Amino acid sequence: MDTKTRLDEDAITRRGQRTKAKGRARTLAVVAAIAVAGGGAWLRHTHVGNDGVANARPAPPREVTVSRPLVRELDTRLGFLGQYSAVDQVELRAQVGGTLTGIHFRDGDIVHKGDLLFTIDPVPYEIRLEQAKARQQTASARLLLAKQELARAQELERNDAGTTQNVQQRASELHAAQAALDDADAQIRDARFDLDHCRIAAPFTGRIGRHLVSAGNLVAGSRAATSPTTLLATLVSLDPIYLDFDMSEADYESFQRYRGDAKGPLANRVELASGDATDYTRQGTLDFVDNVLDRSSGTIHARATVPNADLRLTPGEFSRVRLAVAHPAPMLLVPDAAVLPDQSEHIVMTVAADGTVAPKHVETGDMRGGLRVIRSGLSRDDRVIVDGLPYAAPGMKVATRDGAIRYDAQPN
């Protein structure tokens, strides 16, 4: 073989080697691009052999935080949503008609029992009272005369100078005069009643609403009964105040079951958190539970009486109600985030001794110390996943690290 032929063969060999090197480089570039697009996960779980082929490597188990449920001595409670209502609520209406001459409060004021609220022109009723007094004086004079004439008739009869018929007639006149006097006395009381009711006072202490009639308007009273009465304003009492709420049939059954075990004030004590408050700082007394369930809603009405000395609670305002129905007993607590909804039920993810994730269906209770009460379905030795739930699917293997469940000392 001549020299030129050998040079051509060497050139072909070198071109083939360069082609193979470029192919391996393109393969490595594709692997790197896939790794970057997959967030680096593919590179962590694969390796490239000497021959340029990517081989799969098993992914390590994900790590989650687990803790055993917290055990606390807690009482059994039922929770409801209630609404405040006034113990006393009245519509202020006039008993006598006339021109409204005065309004003696500001809308929304706290008024006290006996405070003057409205005045009606008293002049017509003062005239009526004076007329009644005049009729009383006339009747008194006639009664006095009738007594004197009866006495003279009786004296004449005893002296055989008068007749029995005359005595009976004078006695009848005396009874008629007495009846006229009684009628005049009644008319005076009636006129004085009307005059007194020209001044409308607060029947109890409470908060008054806005006035619905202005001074100068003619108002109709209830005694006239010729036209509908005029509503002047409304007044509601504030201390104490009612809190009305409804129990579901299941809650009512629990209430009845636990209430038999509750003794003393525990059976009727309720705790309240109004508005956006998180602490149940107010207390009241459960004093009424209705005697029938509402068939349309499946609930039964209940009511508590709540002291309101600071007058901060207002009728119509909503409040959360907590009713303790049993004495403290050991209860299991887990973070609320560890409880997952499963249609109409709830589940808690636990980790078995071999590292397998196992879901458990649980019955939940209310919140205590920032934690969720677990009534059943969980034991105190179960290891509950409290962090890393997105990485824990039922049946998969996980690595665990110990965590701690903390109880918030603030009342809730």
Q: Hey, where are the domains in the chain? A: 3-59, 70-85+240-402, 89-236
**Which pLDDT does position 34 carry in this prediction?**
28
The answer to whether residue 326 scores a pLDDT higher than 90 is no
The residues with which 400 forms a beta bridge, in sequence order, are 64
Q: Report the distance separating Cα 119 and Cα 122, nearest Å.
A: 8
Contacts of 118 (CB under 8 A, 6+ apart): 92, 94, 100, 102, 103, 104, 199, 200, 232, 233
Domains 70-85+240-402 and 89-236 share a fold: no
pLDDT band for position 38 (cuts 50, 70, 90): very low
pLDDT band for position 50 (cuts 50, 70, 90): low
pLDDT tens digits, residue range 209-256? Answer: 999 999 988 888 887 666 688 899 999 999 999 999 999 888 888 788
Say if pTM beats, i.e. exceeds, 0.85. Answer: no
Contacts of 354 (CB under 8 A, 6+ apart): 397
- Its CATH architecture, for the domain 70-85+240-402, is Beta Barrel (2.40)
Q: Report the distance separating Cα 313 and Cα 243, nearest Å.
A: 10
Reference 245, options 309, 290, 311; nearest CA is 290
User: Is the domain defined by 89-236 classed in CATH 2.40.50.100?
Assistant: yes
Q: Report the distance separating Cα 195 and Cα 223, nearest Å.
A: 12
Determine how β-strand 398-402 pairs with β-strand 62-67: parallel
Return the percentage of the chain with pLDDT > 70, whole number.
81
Q: Report the distance separating Cα 291 and Cα 311, nearest Å.
A: 31
